[in-house]
């Protein structure tokens, strides 16, 4: 596969996953806002921005609807939902011959849905309806991709982009909550703090799945264990890294590049730490250092992937 094709498919997938994640955080926190005091709401929206990486140009000034509008429709900022969808569509346009017509139609439909509403202020409409439309549009694209595209090398690059973005986003979200609420995880939770941990599960689309495993026992350590080490929940870090590893192995097998050993070692080490890690060991060594280590390893995997398959030199390509 040409490096430009791999690059476009990879970033198309990452941008869509990022847009869906951002829309989900905004939608969940707009709903949670009804159950909290104004002070708690301020802290919540500051956490939202921190979980999104504190993108430049986005600051909370007391109006959650104004912030939601900015994070959704500010095309001048590359982290906004509309910018992510525009970038995803542009990457898809460059590789129209590699994706199905159904994929292009769905992404184009999502693009027009977002740009058509960009002139509206979300506080004047129904922000949850719009954000849910973005989330559903991204999910539909993933389903159409799995149903209509050959599951070859290009499809695997889409999976790589999706799951490396998902793992990084979940870790950043966890880190924000750990920083604020992990000082003494064994003490009894206050009512407002209980709502925040429930909010974390909902932001990760994991509340119902968590309850099926742990019933209604909302405990910070169990939530951390579930979102980090569960291999079945789609938004758990371990599940994302397992899927990432499978896609990398498939690409490695199809490309036959001998130099991929270093990349596979990086991803395999991260997968093993999640598969065989235990929550008590993670807590003992420090949760935040462990989360930062995962982020660093995801970045190293991204860089190694780029060096191997996208920004490689002619000499490296000839060497295999």
pLDDT at 18 over 90: yes
Domain termination residue (choose one: 115, 149, 183): 149
Does residue 165 sit in the same domain as residue 202? Answer: yes
Does residue 166 sit in the same domain as residue 136? Answer: no
pLDDT at 124 over 70: no
Does residue 54 sit in the same domain as residue 133? Answer: yes
Does residue 231 sit in the same domain as residue 91? Answer: no
Confidence of residue 180 (pLDDT cuts 50, 70, 90): confident
Confidence of residue 191 (pLDDT cuts 50, 70, 90): low
143-163 average pLDDT score: 97
pLDDT at 123 over 60: no
Round to whole Å and give the CA distance between 2 and 111. Answer: 26
Beta-carbon neighbour count of residue 168 at 10 Å?
22
Residue range 34-89, pLDDT digits in tens:
765 544 677 889 899 999 988 877 888 888 888 898 899 988 888 999 999 999 99
Percent of the chain with pLDDT over 90: 65
Domain total in the chain: 2
Matching residue, tokens 């994929």: 103
Round to whole Å and give the CA distance between 127 and 26. Answer: 9
Q: Tokens in use for 114?
A: 């977002």
pLDDT at 266 over 50: yes
Does residue 164 sit in the same domain as residue 15? Answer: no
Round to whole Å and give the CA distance between 216 and 42. Answer: 27
CA of residue 84 relative to chain centroid, distance: 12
Confidence of residue 186 (pLDDT cuts 50, 70, 90): low
Residues near 188 by beta carbon (within 8 Å), at least 6 away in sequence: none
C-alpha pair distances (Å), 206 with each of 209, 214, 215: 5, 12, 13
Does residue 227 sit in the same domain as residue 270? Answer: yes
Does residue 106 sit in the same domain as residue 85? Answer: yes
Domain termination residue (choose one: 149, 171, 205): 149
Domain termination residue (choose one: 149, 180, 214): 149
Does residue 164 sit in the same domain as residue 40? Answer: no
Does residue 40 sit in the same domain as residue 163? Answer: no
Does residue 160 sit in the same domain as residue 288? Answer: yes
Residue range 272-290, pLDDT digits in tens:
999 999 999 999 999 999 9
> Which of 89-98, 129-138, 254-263, 295-304 is least confident?
254-263
Does residue 306 sit in the same domain as residue 190? Answer: yes
Confidence of residue 312 (pLDDT cuts 50, 70, 90): low
C-alpha pair distances (Å), 146 with each of 2, 103, 154: 21, 10, 12
Confidence of residue 117 (pLDDT cuts 50, 70, 90): confident
Round to whole Å and give the CA distance between 158 and 160. Answer: 5
More confident residue, 34 or 231: 231
Does residue 4 sit in the same domain as residue 36? Answer: yes
Parent domain of 72 = 1-149
């Amino acid at each position: 596969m040409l490096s430009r094709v791999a690059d476009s498919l990879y970033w198309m997938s990452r941008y869509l996953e990022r847009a869906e994640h951002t829309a989900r955080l905004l939608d969940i926190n707009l709903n949670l806002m009804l159950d909290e005091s104004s002070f708690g709401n301020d802290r919540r929206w500051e956490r939202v921005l921190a979980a999104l990486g504190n993108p430049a140009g986005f600051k909370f000034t007391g109006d959650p609807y104004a912030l939601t509008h900015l994070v959704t429709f500010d095309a001048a900022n590359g982290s906004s939902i509309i910018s992510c969808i525009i970038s995803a569509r542009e990457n898809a346009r460059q590789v129209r011959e590699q994706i199905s017509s159904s994929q292009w139609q769905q992404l184009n439909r999502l693009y027009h849905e977002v740009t058509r509403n960009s002139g509206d202020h979300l506080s004047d409409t129904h922000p949850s309806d719009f954000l849910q439309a973005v989330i559903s549009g991204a999910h539909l694209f993933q389903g159409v991709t799995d149903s209509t595209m050959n599951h070859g090398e290009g499809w695997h690059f889409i999976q790589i982009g999706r799951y490396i973005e998902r793992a990084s986003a979940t870790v950043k979200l966890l880190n924000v909550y750990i920083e604020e609420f992990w000082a003494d995880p064994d003490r009894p939770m206050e009512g407002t703090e209980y709502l925040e941990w429930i909010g974390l599960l909902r932001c990760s689309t994991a509340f119902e799945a968590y309850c099926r495993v742990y019933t209604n026992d909302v405990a910070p350590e169990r939530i951390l264990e579930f979102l980090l080490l569960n291999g079945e929940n789609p938004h758990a870090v371990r599940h994302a890294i397992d899927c990432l590893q499978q896609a990398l192995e498939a690409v490695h097998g199809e490309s036959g590049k001998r130099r991929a050993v270093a990349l596979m070692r990086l991803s395999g080490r991260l997968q093993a730490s999640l598969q065989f890690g235990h929550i008590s060991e993670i807590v003992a060594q420090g949760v935040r250092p462990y989360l930062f280590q995962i982020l660093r390893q995801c970045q190293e995997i991204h860089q190694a992937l780029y060096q191997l398959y996208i920004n490689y030199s002619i000499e490296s390509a000839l060497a295999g």
